[in-house]
Amino acid sequence: MNVNVMTHPLIQHKVTLIRNVETGSKDFRELLEEITLLMGYEITRDLPLEDVEVQTPLVKAIGKQIAGKKLGIIPILRAGLGMVSGLLELMPMAKVGHVGLYRDPETLKPVEYYCKLPSDLSDRRIIVTDPMLATGGSASAAITLLKEKGARDIQLMCLVAAPQGVEAVNKEHPDVRIYVAALDEDLNEHGYILPGLGDAGDRIFGTK
Ligand code: PRP
Ligand code: URA
Q: What's the confidence (pLDDT) of residue 112? A: 94
pLDDT of residue 208: 86
CB of 132 shorter than 6 A to ligand 2? yes
Model pTM score: 0.96
Of the candidates 202, 183, 181, 185, the one whose C-alpha atom is nearest the C-alpha of residue 14 is 181
Q: Where are the domains of the chain?
A: 3-205
For residues 105-127, give the mean pLDDT: 93
**Residue 56, phi then psi, degrees to nearest 5:** -85, 175
The model's pLDDT over 40-89, given as tens digits with 9 standing for 90+, comes to: 999 999 999 999 999 999 999 999 999 877 999 999 999 999 999 999 99
What number does the ligand 1 atom closest to the CA of 76 have? 8
Ligand 1 atom index nearest CA of 102: 16
CATH of 3-205, one of 3.90.1150.10, 1.10.1270.20, 3.40.50.2020, 2.60.15.10: 3.40.50.2020
The whole-number pLDDT of residue 147 equals 97
User: CB–CB of 112/104 below 8 Å?
Assistant: no
Q: What is the pLDDT of residue 105?
A: 87
What pLDDT is stored for residue 204 in this prediction? 98
Of the chain, the percentage scoring pLDDT greater than 90 comes to: 92
Give the pLDDT band of residue 31 (cuts 50, 70, 90). very high
pLDDT of residue 68: 73
pLDDT 10s digits, 147-173: 999 999 999 999 999 999 999 999 999
Going by the annotation, the residues of the binding site are 78, 103, 130-138, 193, 198-200
